[in-house]
């Protein structure tokens, strides 16, 4: 069993997902009269949709950092993605919008690459510069292109159309050659069976009316893994991020690898931005990225510089984001979940005989549970910051076992050691 | 005398000149390497060996001169071109990415592909075949970070062979190896030679050079001094060719120590980041006027031991006494003020601020004491005077005390560090690799300083990887292995070989009874 677990990634992931559903089911059961949104089709659907931009930013971060470049400019590249996405969608249609968003983000990536790789500028400084330049550019372009149009202005575009969506046939009532197949998950969800219905709700949420852009974004996870770990260029990119001098000594063009990776990184972030504008809001609005680029960067660390890990992280943040938008009582129920999770960590610490962490975790767990018990609803300031608090918590608990590319953030000049 | 029937040389460099700002690294250097020989290039640090090899390998380009490989004129602007011409290089500092596997490191830049993906299966096969035919034992799927130094070097050699190199350049390959690993390497090199490869071997350890090389070219100050057949020279002659004068060597002198214990480690243990014991219950006394040498393969707890003495790293057990007084709970500052001097292992990272002027560097570690401070304030004029004294009495060659430390050569930087510590009049000096990477002249000066200080009653704890330095300087030698002291030896009767045996644990129980501290 253990051998099988180790050998099969897929199995391990499925088990982890199942465990999560069980826990959520139980918490949902405990909090039943109060909220039903912790595990519903709506929440699952919303989680996935909110996770996509973060996932794309995370993938962008992985591409750049695997090549040794810190890309704190993801945020700005996403901003470029939102503007160019909306503009492209307005002028040529939603798919063109996605393409223009990617190109816009890639331009931001190119700027970052020229500064950091070409001129050896500090990666953080260049990234911050991109983050400052991008919104200013977007504002300028809005004045030029959106201001005169109906519904458009200095800070927003006219409404744009979204790309189509798809239902999975047979399980979520999708069409197959013009025939409407049954909605199996929806039916099970309605039965109200403990755990089974919850699982069906979750699956229904992620298979019903899924945007095609989401499908493309999800496909980018295995595609990134394939490109970075199975192809020569991927190996060269990773080697450039680990030990650029070694790569150079074997005839790898380190500059070209870093440029490529950072431009791809910007393109992914731009895709994420375009997704926000075209799919999530249907409009370009100033400041609509709201720090997702930075959260994407956090998922890079959370996911240990692995695409699958970043995907998991983005789902977590997407979940917190979805909850705070949909239902404040659900956030309250989430306190219960956090309390239980902290208690579990405390027990693990006790088993491992680590006294101080155990005590700290126990106290934290008790206070969160107390908070849950004595309040009806969380303070109104809490829900909007849930994703950010979740980010912090996750990073605090996950940082000890991380292994970042050895050459990240270092200035590389050929011929200098 | 074996007359070299000079066949067409595989590699012929003529009149190679390379200038860096302020120095001429190579000044019309000539080198002729015949096919199938092991050709050593020797010279002091800074003699231009590494630069010459980097030029041959296309990592740097020569300002003047001609290069011929297999009789045809070449000009490499990148290593890729050198690789194509059949030249490969094993660097002194391994060029390996730790987080990649052996296989990935080897195939990088020359990946076999199958439908766009890396063909791991055929790469696997090729690696194992190479390993078998040259006796280089490796597991392709191991992560490089898990490998020992000797194994990493084998990865480097495989990397070069995988690219089909016929000429291998090895830049100071033995610098990081213990004697037993050196023998293993030499076996590998002879195997390569027997299969027709040509090897260019950079080194400055003469005994090794004489043991392995067929032909030796000596460089001094960027110039070719001569090329000789290795059977025709002695180590002494080679050494004189290298330095161009009488050779300085650490020589022992009667010990000046008394029975007064200056530093005492009593069951000292230090835990590393994972909670394992990096230093494990070490008992060691350093007496006044005594140099105690600590030998060991790097990473066996010497670094942690030193950091614990300085207070840079918390101890996990045992006690540390300075002059009979327990230092438990003392912060670094108090230990320094109590008279512990420190010559750190890495002067660039720990010893100096490269971009600060010398007089600021001279204050570091003593910035709370006169002459560098007056009350809570720094005393600029006092510091400048003190720095001037250090510069003159320790022979730091610099245009002035306002020069930044970066501008000094390694040897002069080190003299400044030593001078800074000695000037403060320490009771106890902790020195880690004090002569690493500096030229012979500066090395002799550092040795002389340490000897003088000992004569004046200074207690010295000396950690070094240079076994001759340890044997030559120390009054007592201890060997650390996996955090423990496994042997105590008398430098007068020990040899580098014997020391190497203890360092790797190969000497084992046979010498344990006599070797261990009573």
pLDDT tens figures, B87-101: 998 887 788 988 899
At residue A111, does pLDDT exceed 90? yes
Nearest to B117 among A230, A236, A239 (CB): A230
Cβ-defined contact of B117 to A250 (cutoff 8 Å): no
Q: Show Cβ contacts of residue B140 under 8 Å, excluding neighbours closer than 6 positions.
A: B101, B102, B103, B106, B123, B124, B127, B128
Do B123 and B106 touch, CB atoms closer than 8 A?
A: yes
Model pLDDT, residue B509? 42
Nearest to A232 among B93, B111, B163 (CB): B111
Separation between Cα atoms, residue B475 and residue B513, nearest integer Å: 20
**Higher pLDDT pick, B271 / A102:** A102
Model pLDDT, residue B514? 40
Question: Which candidate in B59, B84, B85, B99 is best for mutational testing of the A interface (most A CBs within 10 A)?
Answer: B99
Do B94 and B174 touch, CB atoms closer than 8 A?
A: no
Model pLDDT, residue B240? 73
- Here the tokens at position B209 are 């050079």
Nearest to B83 among A251, A405, A406 (CB): A251
At residue B512, does pLDDT exceed 50? no
Separation between Cα atoms, residue B23 and residue B164, nearest integer Å: 35
What would the DSSP string read from start to end of B381-423?
HHHHHHHHHHHHHTT---S-TTSBGGGS-HHHHHHHHHHHHHH
Q: Which chain B residues have any C-beta within 8 angstroms of a chain A C-beta? A: 57, 59-60, 78-80, 83, 89, 91, 93-100, 104-105, 107-111, 113, 116-118, 159, 163
Q: What average pLDDT score do residues B319-323 get?
A: 90
- Burial class of residue B246 in the structure, from the number of CB atoms within 10 Å of its CB (0-12 exposed, 13-18 middle, 19+ buried): exposed
Question: Which candidate in A66, A228, A246 is best for mutational testing of the B interface (most B CBs within 10 A)?
Answer: A246
pLDDT tens figures, A172-228: 666 666 666 777 777 777 777 767 777 777 777 777 778 889 999 999 999 999 999
CA distance B121 to chain A (A): 12
Cβ-defined contact of A247 to B97 (cutoff 8 Å): yes
Nearest to B96 among A238, A246, A405 (CB): A246
Cβ-defined contact of B104 to A239 (cutoff 8 Å): yes
Confidence tier at B1 by pLDDT (50, 70, 90):
very low
CA distance A281 to chain B (A): 39
At residue A47, does pLDDT exceed 60? yes
C-alpha distance from residue A17 to each of A38, A167, A300, A340 (Å): 15, 22, 20, 17
B56 chain-A contacts, CB cut-off 8 A = none
B156 chain-A contacts, CB cut-off 8 A = none
Question: Which candidate in B20, B58, B86, B109 is best for mutational testing of the A interface (most A CBs within 10 A)?
Answer: B109
What would the DSSP string read from start to end of A55-110?
HHHHHHHHHHHHTT---TTHHHHHHHHHHHHHHHHHHH-HHHHHHHHHHHHHHHHH
Q: Show Cβ contacts of residue B42 under 8 Å, excluding neighbours closer than 6 positions.
A: B49, B202, B203, B204, B206, B209, B216, B217, B218, B219, B238, B242
Confidence tier at A60 by pLDDT (50, 70, 90):
very high
Separation between Cα atoms, residue B450 and residue B422, nearest integer Å: 9
Nearest to A405 among B79, B89, B99 (CB): B99
Instruction: Report the percent of chain B where pLDDT is more than 90.
Output: 16
Cβ-defined contact of B117 to A252 (cutoff 8 Å): no
Q: What average pLDDT score do residues A281-293 get?
A: 91
Residues paired with residue A211 on neighbouring β-strands, in sequence order: A165
Do A134 and A80 touch, CB atoms closer than 8 A?
A: yes
Confidence tier at B21 by pLDDT (50, 70, 90):
low
Confidence tier at B245 by pLDDT (50, 70, 90):
low
Report which DSSP code applies to B101.
B
ipTM: 0.79
Separation between Cα atoms, residue B120 and residue A280, nearest integer Å: 42
B98 chain-A contacts, CB cut-off 8 A = 242-243, 406
Give exposure, A297-318, as e/b (b: 16+ Cβ within 10 Å). Answer: bbbbbbbbbbbebbbbbbbbbb
A226 chain-B contacts, CB cut-off 8 A = 117
Closest-CA residue of chain B to A254: B109
Report which DSSP code applies to A412.
-
To which residue do tokens 């791809």 refer?
A264
Helix (H, G, I), strand (E, B) or coil at A232: helix
- Burial class of residue A400 in the structure, from the number of CB atoms within 10 Å of its CB (0-12 exposed, 13-18 middle, 19+ buried): exposed
At residue B428, does pLDDT exceed 80? yes
CA distance A217 to chain B (A): 22
C-alpha distance from residue B497 to each of B297, B378, B468, B477, B507 (Å): 13, 50, 10, 14, 10
Model pLDDT, residue A8? 57
Q: Show Cβ contacts of residue B344 under 8 Å, excluding neighbours closer than 6 positions.
A: B350, B351, B417, B432
Give exposure, B6-35, as e/b (b: 16+ Cβ within 10 Å). Answer: eeebbbbbeebbbeeeeebbbbebebbbbe
B94 chain-A contacts, CB cut-off 8 A = 246
Nearest to A251 among B60, B97, B109 (CB): B109
At residue B226, does pLDDT exceed 60? yes
- Here the tokens at position A141 are 């372009």
Nearest to A235 among B83, B94, B104 (CB): B104
Cβ-defined contact of A250 to B79 (cutoff 8 Å): yes
Confidence tier at B456 by pLDDT (50, 70, 90):
confident
Nearest to A249 among B79, B99, B113 (CB): B79
Cβ-defined contact of B108 to A236 (cutoff 8 Å): yes
Q: What average pLDDT score do residues B345-366 get?
A: 86
Model pLDDT, residue B516? 39
B105 chain-A contacts, CB cut-off 8 A = 239, 246
Domains assigned to chain B:
1-86+166-247 (3.40.50.300), 95-164 (no CATH), 263-515 (3.40.50.300)
Cβ-defined contact of B118 to A230 (cutoff 8 Å): yes
Model pLDDT, residue A126? 96
Instruction: State how beta strands B291-295 and B317-322 pair.
Output: unpaired
Helical spans, DSSP H, in B29-148: 49-56, 79-84, 102-107, 120-134
CA distance A178 to chain B (A): 38
C-alpha distance from residue B298 to each of A140, B303, B416 (Å): 59, 8, 25
Confidence tier at A244 by pLDDT (50, 70, 90):
very high
pLDDT tens figures, A339-377: 888 888 888 888 877 788 888 888 988 998 888 888 877
Model pLDDT, residue A55? 96
Helical pair A307-326 and A292-302, crossing angle rounded to 10 deg:
130
Cβ-defined contact of A406 to B98 (cutoff 8 Å): yes
**Higher pLDDT pick, B411 / A33:** B411
What would the DSSP string read from start to end of A117-170?
IIS---HHHHHHHHHHHHHHHHHHHHHHHTTTSTT--SSBPPP-PPPPEE--TT
Confidence tier at A36 by pLDDT (50, 70, 90):
low
Model pLDDT, residue B513? 39
Q: For residue A316, how far is the Cα from the chain centroid?
A: 8
B95 chain-A contacts, CB cut-off 8 A = 243, 245-246, 249-250
Do A101 and A277 touch, CB atoms closer than 8 A?
A: yes
Order of strands across the sheet that contains B261-271: B277-287, B261-271, B317-322, B325-326
Closest-CA residue of chain B to A405: B99
CA distance B59 to chain A (A): 7
Do B313 and B482 touch, CB atoms closer than 8 A?
A: no
Phi, psi for A341 (deg, rounded to 5): -60, -45
The Cβ of residue A274 has, within 10 Å, a number of other Cβ atoms equal to: 35
Closest-CA residue of chain B to A242: B97
Range in A288-297, B122-131, B438-447, B506-515 with the lowest mean pLDDT:
B506-515
Q: Which chain A residues have any C-beta within 8 angstroms of a chain B C-beta? A: 226, 230-232, 235-236, 238-239, 242-243, 245-252, 403, 405-406, 415, 417
B79 chain-A contacts, CB cut-off 8 A = 248-251
Nearest to A252 among B94, B109, B117 (CB): B109
B104 chain-A contacts, CB cut-off 8 A = 235, 239
Q: What average pLDDT score do residues B250-278 get?
A: 77
Closest-CA residue of chain A to B78: A251
What would the DSSP string read from start to end of B448-483?
HHHHHHHHTT-EEEEE-S-HHHHHHH-SEEEEEETT
**Third-level CATH fold of A29-162+209-326:** ABC transporter involved in vitamin B12 uptake, BtuC (1.10.3470)
Instruction: Report the percent of chain B where pLDDT is more than 70.
Output: 92
Cβ-defined contact of A406 to B97 (cutoff 8 Å): yes
Confidence tier at A122 by pLDDT (50, 70, 90):
very high
Nearest to B100 among A242, A248, A249 (CB): A242
Q: What average pLDDT score do residues B332-361 get?
A: 88
């Amino acid at each position: 069993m253990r051998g099988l677990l180790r050998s099969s990634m897929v199995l391990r992931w499925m088990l982890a997902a199942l465990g999560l559903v069980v826990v959520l089911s139980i918490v949902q059961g405990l909090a039943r009269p109060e909220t039903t949104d912790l595990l519903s089709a709506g929440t699952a659907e919303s989680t996935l949709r909110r996770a996509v931009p973060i996932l794309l930013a995370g993938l962008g971060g992985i591409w750049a950092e695997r090549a040794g470049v810190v890309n704190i400019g993801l945020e700005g590249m996403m901003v470029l993605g939102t503007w160019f996405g909306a503009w492209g969608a307005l002028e040529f249609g939603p798919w063109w919008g996605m393409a223009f968003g990617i190109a816009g983000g890639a331009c931001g990536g190119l700027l970052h690459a020229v500064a950091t790789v070409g001129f050896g500028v500090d990666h953080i400084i260049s990234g911050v510069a991109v983050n400052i330049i991008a919104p200013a550019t977007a504002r300028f372009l809005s004045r030029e292109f959106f201001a005169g149009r109906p519904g458009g202005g200095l800070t927003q575009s006219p409404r744009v159309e979204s790309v189509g969506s798809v239902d999975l046939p047979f399980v979520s009532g999708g069409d197959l050659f013009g025939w409407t197949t049954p909605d199996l998950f929806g039916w099970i969800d309605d039965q109200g069976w403990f755990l089974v219905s919850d699982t069906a709700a979750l699956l229904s949420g992620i298979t019903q009316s899924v945007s095609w852009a989401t499908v493309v974004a999800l496909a980018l996870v295995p595609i990134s893994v394939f490109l970075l770990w199975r192809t020569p260029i991927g190996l060269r990119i990773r080697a450039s991020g680990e030990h650029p001098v070694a790569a150079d000594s074997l005839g790898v063009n380190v500059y070209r690898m870093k440029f490529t990776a950072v431009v791809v990184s910007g393109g992914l972030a731009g895709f994420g931005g375009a997704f926000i504008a075209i799919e999530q809001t249907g409009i370009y609005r100033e400041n609509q990225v709201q720090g997702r680029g930075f959260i994407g960067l956090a998922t890079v660390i959370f996911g240990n510089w692995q695409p699958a890990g970043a995907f998991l992280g983005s789902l977590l943040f997407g979940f917190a984001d979805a909850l705070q938008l949909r239902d404040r009582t659900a956030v309250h129920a989430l306190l219960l979940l956090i309390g239980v999770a902290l208690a579990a960590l405390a027990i693990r610490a006790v088993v491992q005989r680590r006294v101080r962490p155990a005590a700290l975790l126990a106290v934290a767990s008790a206070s969160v549970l107390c908070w849950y018990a004595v309040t009806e609803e969380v303070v109104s300031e809490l829900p909007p910051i849930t994703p950010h608090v979740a980010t912090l918590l996750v990073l605090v608990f996950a940082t000890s076992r991380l292994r970042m590319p050895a050459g990240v953030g270092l200035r590389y000049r050929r011929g200098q050691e | 005398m074996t007359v070299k029937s000079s066949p067409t040389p595989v590699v012929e460099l003529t009149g190679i000149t390379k200038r860096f700002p302020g120095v001429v690294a190579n000044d019309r250097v000539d080198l002729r390497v015949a096919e199938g020989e092991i050709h050593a290039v020797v010279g002091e640090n800074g003699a231009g060996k590494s630069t010459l090899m980097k030029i041959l390998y296309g990592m740097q380009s020569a300002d003047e001169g001609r290069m011929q490989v297999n009789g045809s004129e070449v000009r490499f602007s990148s290593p890729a071109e050198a690789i194509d011409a059949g030249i490969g290089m094993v660097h002194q500092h391994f060029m390996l990415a730790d987080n990649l596997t052996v296989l990935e490191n080897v195939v990088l830049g020359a990946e076999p592909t199958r439908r766009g993906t890396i063909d791991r299966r055929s790469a696997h096969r090729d690696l194992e075949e190479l390993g078998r035919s040259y006796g280089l034992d490796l597991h392709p799927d191991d992560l490089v970070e898990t490998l020992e130094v000797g194994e990493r070097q084998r990865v480097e050699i495989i990397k070069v062979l995988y690219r089909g190199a016929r000429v291998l350049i090895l830049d100071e390959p033995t610098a990081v190896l213990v004697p037993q690993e050196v023998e293993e390497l030499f076996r590998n090199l002879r195997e390569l030679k027997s299969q027709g490869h040509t090897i260019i071997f950079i080194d400055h350890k003469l005994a090794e050079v004489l043991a392995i090389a067929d032909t030796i070219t000596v460089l001094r100050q960027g110039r070719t001094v001569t090329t000789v057949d290795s059977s025709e020279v002695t180590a002494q002659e080679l050494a004189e060719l290298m330095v161009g004068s009488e050779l300085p060597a650490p020589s022992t002198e009667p010990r000046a120590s008394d029975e007064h214990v200056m530093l005492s480690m009593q069951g000292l243990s230090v835990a590393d980041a994972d909670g394992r014991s990096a230093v494990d219950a070490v008992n060691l006394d350093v007496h006044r006027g005594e140099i105690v040498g600590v030998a060991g393969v790097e990473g066996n707890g010497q670094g942690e031991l030193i950091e614990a003495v300085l207070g840079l790293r918390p101890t996990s057990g045992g006690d540390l006494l300075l002059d009979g007084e327990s230092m438990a709970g003392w912060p670094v500052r108090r230990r320094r003020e109590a008279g512990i001097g420190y010559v750190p292992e890495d002067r660039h990272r720990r010893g100096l601020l490269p971009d600060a002027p010398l007089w600021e560097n001279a204050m570091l570690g003593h910035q709370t004491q006169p002459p560098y401070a007056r009350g809570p304030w720094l005393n600029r004029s006092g510091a400048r005077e003190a720095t001037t004294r250090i510069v003159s009495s320790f022979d730091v060659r610099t245009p002035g005390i306002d020069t930044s430390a970066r501008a000094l050569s390694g040897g002069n930087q080190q003299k400044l560090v030593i001078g800074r510590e000695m000037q403060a009049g320490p009771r106890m000096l902790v020195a880690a690799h004090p002569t690493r990477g500096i030229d012979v002249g500066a090395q002799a000066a550092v040795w002389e300083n340490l000897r003088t200080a000992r004569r004046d009653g200074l207690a010295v704890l000396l950690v070094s990887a240079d076994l001759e330095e340890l044997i030559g300087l120390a009054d007592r030698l201890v060997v650390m292995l996996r955090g423990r002291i496994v042997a105590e030896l008398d430098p007068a009767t020990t040899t580098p070989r014997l020391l190497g045996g203890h360092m790797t644990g190969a000497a084992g129980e046979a010498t344990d009874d006599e070797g261990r501290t009573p």
